[in-house]
Structures are given as structure tokens and as C-alpha cells.
Structure 1
Amino acid sequence: MTLIEDRLARGLGQAAGFTQIDWVRERLTVAAILLEHGKIFAGIAEILAALKRQGITLAIVSGAYSAVLELLRESNLLEMFDAVILGGDVSKPKPDPEGIRKCLQQLGIAPGAALYVGDTPIDVQTSRAAGVYSVGVLTGAGTSANLSAQSPDRLIGTLAGLLDCIEPIE
């Protein structure tokens, strides 16, 4: 147990165990990633628009909270998404598949017809647990080594690579 984990365990009570410690760590990690990486990547509006033109349903499942919505709203991107599931909408954090399953149910999409794009190893683990296709993208917090170690179905360098991962719906 690291010093931080030890202090979290003491703060949450020894009976808290690693599940709650992992939950707190996830929240802190999400906050740090949003502070560091919480930006709209150049060209994302065009990529999302191209996917929408292909008939692709777009959704967000994130452990983050309202900061994500504000970022998308300020960038005029929120309306491109058909569903948004955030950390406050689920009782269990990733890698539990609750968020993805809730999103799929809301949209009426079967797991085998969906893919989840993420930039961390936990994102790949979550997609596996939900039974959806996983795409690791290297434009965020993850590295090639730590994403590859989780064996995503596809690993792409940039979000533009999504256009090559998805076949248009006819």
C-alpha cells in the first residue's frame, strides 16, 4: 500500500478496502486529467460531424462530472452527443461497466454494436467488462505502452483515426 493509499484507508476507515480507495483515486485522477487534458482537441468538431454524417450514434461515458459538460457546451459540441453518462449518474466507477451499460440501454444499442474510445488503461478494461469493442487513443492521458498492455481491439494515434475504425451505417 502506498502512502496515499494508507492515508485514504485511514481517512475512509480500515474497513473501506481497496474498492473505495480505488474510487477516490479514480476521482482524483479524473480531476487531474481534466485539469491537464481537459481541452477540446483541434479538429474534433470536424471528426464528430463526419461520424454523425455516417449515421453513427455518439455518446459520452466518463467518470468526470459537470466540468465535461461545461467544456462541451462552451465549445458547442454537446448537441452532437445522443447520450451523456457521467460519474454522478452511476454508483460504481470504471472499470465497472455500469456507465457503458446504462448508456447502451438508454440508446437501445446492443454491446456488440458499440465501441468505446478511451485514453486510459481503465477505459480499455471498462469496455471489455461491458462487452463492447475497445479503441485506445493516444491523445490523452494514456501511453502506447500502458494502453497496449490492456490489448485494446484497436490502438490509434489520434481521434482522426476513428474515421478508419468505423464503417458507415447504410
Structure 2
Amino acid sequence: MDTVLFDMFGVIARTQSAQSRAALEHASGIQPGLFWECYWGERLPYDRGDLTGPAYWRSVGRRAGTEFDDRRVAELLELDLESWSRVDEDMVSLAEGLSASGVRLGMLSNIPFEIADMFEADHARVLRLFPVLGFSCRIGRAKPDPESFGWCLEGLGVEPGRVLFVDDTERNVTAARELGLGGHHFTSAAGLREELAARGLTRG
């Protein structure tokens, strides 16, 4: 095993903070439980690139039984971008160490166009660590679709058994394992370092 394929959010980048989640709930004017049901219920087509940001937010509103006007859509889009904007510097350091030691790296992330564009503009130093970037919006496939993994394997030029896939969502790890990749359900950098050591991969 000589390759690590990383998820982005919840691994290399941070997930939404409690503060950012509260800001989205407030701006939507929708009861929080219903808001998040609609937010995630409409997310896959957005991540896959089937919807623009404004179209996504209008779909969220309709699913919740309301209509967002242009001002509300713009506000929600801006708050959503901000909520996914932070990287985890400890994990970036780990990836830098792996890259410096010759481990092949890739990334497979369910991410819409607007957030992908933001990361390419604001976090180019991080993305440069990953020669293969499987952004769902750009490849038209999203985890846990087997074709999303296949796209990355083709780009990396390796067999599944040479790859450790790291994701904070267990169903995605299960999908990777079913395709013959090694899988690590990420909960902490310390736990990942132990996994890398056990598999003979140089630690960052």
C-alpha cells in the first residue's frame, strides 16, 4: 500500500461549526430540524454539479414549503460558503509529511462548484498536495457511487489494493472497502497516524 485517498470535509477541512449552523438556521427562517432535513435532502444534486448554488437554495426552500427571494438566496449562499471554509492545520501537516515522504495522495470530496472554486482560490497550498482531485461537482459523480472511486483510481494509476481511503462518513468507507480499497473511518488525526503506521505508510 503506497497511496492515500482523502475525503476533504471532516478530515482535511473542518465541518460546519455550531455558530455557522446557527447563522444558517436564523437566515433561513425555517425551524432547525426541518431546515437540516431539507438542506441535506437536496444536497447530493448540488454536490454532483447538477444544481447551481441559487437553484439549490430555492430547492431547499420549496422542500420546506416556502420561497426564498433573491436576497435570501444570496445570504444563504454566502453563509454556506463561509461555513465550509476552514482547513484543519494538523491534518494539512500530516498530509504534507506523507507527500514529502513519497506517498501518493489524492482527494475525493462531495463538494459543489461554489465551494470548490472558493477552496481553489483560498487554499491552493493545501490542494497542491493532492495531484488527483476528485471533486464531485467536476467529475459528475458523488460518494458513495463506485464510479467516483473509479475516477480517482484511474487518475492515481493504481490498483484498489494499493490505496487507503480515509473518510469521516462510515458508509463511504464501506463503499470503498467493497471495491477493494483499504478503508479508515476517520475520527482523529491520532487514530489515522496509528492506521498509517500499521499499514506501513510513513507518518506525517
- TM-score (ref. length: structure 2): 0.52
CA offsets per residue over residues 15-43 of structure 1, 9 Å max, x none?
xxxxxxx9845357999997656521132
Provide the residue aligned with 1:26 in structure 2.
44
Q: How many residues align?
A: 136
Task: Decide whether aligned partners of structure 1 residues 70 and 160 sit closer, same or farther in structure 2, where only a CA change above 3 A counts.
Answer: farther
Give 5+ residue unaligned stretches, structure 2: 1-33, 49-76
RMSD across aligned positions (CA): 3.7
CA–CA distance in structure 1, aligned partners of residues 194 and 120 of structure 2 = 21
Percent identity of paired positions between Structure 1 and Structure 2: 21
Instruction: Name the counterpart of 2:108.
Output: 61
Provide the residue aligned with 2:21 in structure 1. Answer: none
Corresponding residue number in structure 1 for 2:200: 167
1:86 maps onto 2:135 in alignment: yes
| 1:130 Cα offset (Å) | 2.5
| Structure 1 residue runs without a partner (length 5+) | 9-21, 140-155
1:165 to 1:24, Cα distance in 2 relative to 1, 3 A: farther
Q: Choose 46-55 or 63-72, whichever is displaced more.
A: 63-72
Partner of 2:165: 116
1:43 alignment counterpart: 90
For 2:161 and 2:192, the matched residues in 1 are separated by 21
- In 2, Cα distance between the equivalents of 1:82 and 1:114? 15
What is the match of residue 9 of structure 2? none
CA contact (8 A) 2:47 2:110 kept: no
Contact 2:92–2:126 under 8 Å retained in 1: yes
The CA deviation at 1:96 is 1.5
1:135 to 184, 187, 201: 184
What is the one-letter code of the residue matched to 2:147?
A: E
Q: Distance in 1 between matches of 2:109 and 2:41?
A: 13
Post-superposition Cα deviations, 1:105-127, rounded to whole Å, max 9, x if no partner, equal: 12210001011110012321321
Match of 2:104, SS? Answer: coil
SS at match of 1:135: strand
Specify the structure having the higher radius of gyration (Cα).
2
Is 43-52 or 72-81 further displaced after alignment?
72-81
Give the TM-score normalised by the residue count of structure 1: 0.61
Residues 57-84 of structure 1: per-residue CA shift (max 9 Å, x gap): 1111111134145336523211111100
Distance 1:96 1:74 in 2: 28
CA separation in 2, counterparts of 1:27 and 1:57?
A: 30
Change (3 A) 1:69 1:115: farther
Matched, 1:97 2:146: yes
- Please state whether the residue corresponding to 1:58 is helix, strand or coil: strand
